């Protein structure tokens, strides 16, 4: 009876699977980026949004075609204000296509993990944190030499063709602001900004600031931006409430988008 049951049991055949090489070939660079991220497991202490790189994964991750990488070299388990600025960059970067943020933690003692990568780029522990941009134009790495501030790092990345959103601003409206200035203060961009401010970003007070600044520029010319920056700076230097200070700081961020039109 057992033999009869075995003969009667249906046979389940699995469909043939395509060769792994053909599957990978169709997946394209996005899957390659995901594979690199999985290979570079996020270690304890690595900032959220950053991929941990080491001497096994560093060159592999940077070899992904068409991708740009911002890589931070720093001591293991970094903390403090400069690390907070890095975390801000990581949170902003996830929306940027074909751009990854990496982190190389260098141990000073014990096994001295990644000490060879530190030496490869001519760095010392006293230099940390150090940032490099790697892309097609900078295959050996472009070293950042400014202050470790998220706003300044973002501006530097934008100057080097990485379309990072401005810190604390709205990316869609950032792009409209730049187009508005570069295309002769076109009404079409102002109307698009109004629509975004009234609909998608109606709960963000910064959205209305874009619209008002565009309107003022049409009335007074592009010199309005510099004069308004001066005015808001003086307000911030005075004695104002916490709420007013937060509002003026937001306005300075939005004004910064209009002031940096040549960075894109």
For 182-212, the pLDDT digits (tens) are 999 999 999 999 999 999 888 888 999 999 9
Pick the CATH number of 28-159 from 3.40.718.10, 3.40.30.10, 3.30.950.10, 1.10.443.10: 3.40.30.10
Task: Tell me how far apart the alpha carbons of residues 50 and 47 are, in angstroms, rounded to a whole number.
Answer: 6
171 pLDDT band (50/70/90 cuts)? confident
pLDDT at position 181 is: 94
What architecture does CATH give domain 171-263?
A: Up-down Bundle (1.20)
- What are the tens digits of pLDDT across the range 225-239? 999 999 999 999 999
pLDDT confidence bin for 261, thresholds 50/70/90: low
Handedness of CA 118, 123, 125, 129 (dihedral sign): negative
Q: How far apart are CA 88 and CA 91, in angstroms?
A: 5
> Is residue 70 a contact partner of residue 99, using CB atoms and an 8 Å limit?
yes
**Cα–Cα dist 69/37, whole Å:** 12
Domain ranges of the chain: 28-159, 171-263
d(CA 143, CA 128): 12
* Residues 163, 96 contacting (CB under 8 angstroms): yes
Distances (CA, A) of 174 to 55, 192, 248: 37, 12, 18
pLDDT in tens, 4-42: 444 444 444 444 444 444 444 444 555 455 455 544 444
Average pLDDT, the chain: 84
Question: Per the confidence metrics, is the pTM higher than 0.85?
Answer: no
Longest dimension (CA), the chain: 96
Stretch 150-178: mean pLDDT, rounded?
A: 88
pLDDT above 60: residue 220:
yes
User: What number of H helices and E strands is found in the chain?
Assistant: 11, 5
């Amino acid at each position: 009876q057992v033999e009869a049951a075995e003969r009667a049991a249906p046979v389940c055949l699995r469909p043939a699977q395509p060769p792994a090489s053909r599957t990978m070939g169709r997946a394209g660079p996005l899957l390659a980026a995901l594979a690199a991220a999985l290979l570079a497991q996020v270690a304890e202490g690595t900032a959220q949004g950053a991929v941990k790189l080491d001497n096994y994964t560093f060159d592999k991750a940077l070899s992904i075609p068409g991708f740009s990488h911002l890589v931070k070299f720093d001591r293991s388990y970094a903390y403090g204000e400069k690390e907070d600025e890095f975390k801000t960059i990581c949170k902003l970067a996830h929306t940027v296509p074909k751009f990854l943020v990496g982190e190389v933690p260098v141990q000073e003692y014990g096994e001295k993990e990644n000490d060879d990568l530190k030496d490869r780029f001519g760095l010392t522990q006293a230099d940390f944190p150090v940032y490099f941009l790697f892309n097609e134009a900078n295959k050996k790495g472009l070293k950042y030499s400014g202050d470790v501030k998220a706003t300044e790092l973002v501006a530097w990345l934008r100057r080097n063709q990485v379309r990072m959103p401005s810190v604390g601003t709205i990316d869609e409206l950032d792009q409209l602001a730049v187009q508005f200035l570069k295309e002769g203060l076109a009404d079409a961009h102002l109307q698009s900004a109004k629509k975004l401010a009234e609909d998608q970003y109606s709960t963000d007070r910064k959205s209305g600031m874009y619209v008002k600044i565009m309107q003022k520029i049409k009335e007074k010319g592009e010199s309005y931006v510099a004069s308004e920056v001066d005015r808001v700076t003086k307000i911030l230097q005075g004695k104002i409430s916490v709420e007013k200070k937060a509002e003026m700081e937001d306005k300075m961020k939005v004004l910064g988008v209009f002031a940096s039109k040549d960075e894109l």
